[in-house]
Amino acid sequence: MKVFKFGGASVKDAESIKNVFNVLQQVGHDDVLLVISAMGKTTNALEAVIKNYINKSPGLQASIQEVKKYHNQILLDLFDDEGHAVFSAVNKIFNDLESFLKNNKSPNYNYVYDQVVSQGEIISTTIVSEYFNYQGLKNSWIDVREFIKTDNTYRDALVDWEQTQKRISKGIKKKNLNITQGFLGSDENNFTTTLGREGSDYTAAIFAYCLNAESVTIWKDVPGVLNADPRYFENAILLNQISYREAIELAFYGATVIHPKTLQPLQRKEIPLYVKSFINPLLPGTSVSKGADLEPQSSCYIVKKNQLLVSLSSLDFSFIMEENISEIFGLLHKYKMKVSLIQNTAISFSVCVDDKFGNFDELKSILSKKFKVTYNEDVSLYTIRHFTDTSVDAVAKNKEVLVKQISRETLQIVTTDLE
């Protein structure tokens, strides 16, 4: 079996969904499991719904209607008959969503987030599955929450591999075209969980691992893995082949083309990963596989925006020792700070973090009891793999460098733009 993953950009409107259908006609669809994300910017739109719900905003109904209107237009563009069952199926999903918002008693934001945002994937796969059937391409719609079991760490759930393996091995029919949702799982009480933002790639890897799949293909709007994000860097080039190790390094440092958790399960079973273009599906794209000789021959650039640089120093000029660092990391973990860079001296300790859960103010008040805390908001972290002097100079141009760190193959700098 092959596993294909199509992200939000590939199903953002009716024409895009028709294109996915055409891609499958060109590359084959027998014995394929299709993992599909929410359509377009639906996740962002549902996050707005959650914000309005939590804040008891009068704009709640309007934000729900926006999501409904968006999907209804796609339905109208795909199906000639408004009496088709897909219209009532999608309407029921929205009714269930509104019922949840009306009856929910939990004050847990992360729990509410997962129950609401997950509906984007449920809607998108329902529409795609029904459209394929409508076009004569028979498929099985699968609720991923019955197969991927997790703990109850809402918004960043950990997979229960033993349960997940059993369920996928027993429940997925091979030789069929199967369609399921990315990003989602469920806990022991069958409440919906999510695997972290952009987690659909990880979903594809989980299924591939449990099914001993032939390969995983991630279909993107770019020709493959580039050595830099073309939004921020000019003259980005395609990397035709890279090793699992290099892909893991790039993903760890923040390359967005592959989700960081995706590579490990594939590497364990040496399942090749392909990153290809849904615009030009017959082009080779990038292959990720085993091999020490698959390192890029050019520098690779990664940038993470909107980061937070936090520097701690001792109040009495005493050394920051192992027990201090252990305590700091315990707090960073507790407050869900994603650490991207660490640097320390005798009496100071600095970290560049992603405060994606908005917990820094609370963390800062705790740290301030033991340390002097200084910080810079909205900094950028640049990582250059296989760096050269030229590549470093190009990145640092017109920027103030706050932190610089060099290892054998990787250079990282934390910067702010000069006025």
Mean pLDDT of the region 274-286: 96
Q: Which of 224-233, 244-253, 374-383 has the highest mean pLDDT?
A: 374-383
Last residue of a domain, one of 213, 247, 269: 213
**Considering the domain boundaries, does residue 232 fall inside one?**
no
Report the run of H or E that residue 315 belongs to, with start and end.
Answer: none
Q: What is the pLDDT of residues 308-345, one digit of tens each?
A: 999 999 888 888 888 889 999 999 999 999 999 999 88
260: in domain? no
Q: pLDDT digit string (tens) for 400-411?
A: 999 999 998 899
40 and 189 share a domain?
Answer: yes
- Has residue 286 been placed in a domain? no
Q: Does residue 56 sit in the same domain as residue 187?
A: yes
Q: What is the pLDDT of residue 252?
A: 80
pLDDT at 372: 93
Q: How many domains does the chain have?
A: 2
Question: What is the reported pLDDT for 331?
Answer: 95
Does 171 lie in the same domain as 48?
Answer: yes
CATH code: domain of residue 410? 3.30.2130.10
List the CATH number of the domain containing 45: 3.40.1160.10
Q: Which two tokens stand for residue 326?
A: 């252990």
Residue 138 lies in a domain: yes
Q: Angle between the 60-78 and 85-103 helix axes, to the nearest 10 degrees?
A: 170
Judgement on whether residues 209 and 304 belong to the same structural domain of the protein? no
Residue 293's pLDDT band (cuts 50, 70, 90): low
Q: Is residue 257 part of a domain?
A: no
Whether residue 220 lies inside any domain: the answer is: no
Q: Of 170, 192, 213, which residue constitutes the final position of a domain?
A: 213
Of residues 172, 167, 173, the one with CA closest to residue 185: 167
Q: Do 39 and 166 share a domain, yes or no? A: yes
Q: How confident is the model at residue 297 (pLDDT cuts 50, 70, 90)?
A: confident
Does the pLDDT at position 97 exceed 70?
Answer: yes
Cα(350)–Cα(344) distance, rounded to whole angstroms?
6
Q: Is residue 264 part of a domain?
A: no
In whole angstroms, give the CA distance from residue 28 to residue 6. 15
Residue 384, pLDDT score = 94
Give me the pLDDT at residue 24, please. 98
Exposure string (b/e) for 284-295, b if CB count within 10 Å is 16 or more? ebbbbbeeeebb
When the pLDDT of each residue in the chain is averaged and rounded to a whole number, the result is: 94
Position 135 confidence tier, pLDDT thresholds 50, 70, 90: very high
Mean pLDDT for the stretch of residues 278-283: 96
The per-residue pLDDT for 346 is: 84
Write the pLDDT tens digit of every residue in 164-186: 999 999 999 888 999 999 999 99
Q: Are residues 6 and 141 in the same domain?
A: yes
Digit-coded pLDDT (tens) for 385-395:
999 999 999 89
What is the per-residue pLDDT for 295?
A: 63
Alpha-carbon distance 257 to 250, whole Å?
9
pLDDT level of residue 419 (50, 70, 90 thresholds)? low
Please tell me the predicted confidence (pLDDT) of residue 418. Answer: 75
Residue 209 confidence (pLDDT) above 80? yes
User: Which stretch of 56-70, 105-119, 251-265 has the lowest confidence by average pLDDT?
Assistant: 251-265
**Residue that finishes a domain, picked among 147, 179, 213:** 213
Enclosing domain of residue 316 = 300-417
* Residue 36 predicted with pLDDT over 90: yes
Residue 150: HSE in the Cβ half-sphere, 13 Å Cα cutoff: 24
- Domain membership of residue 237 (yes or no) is no
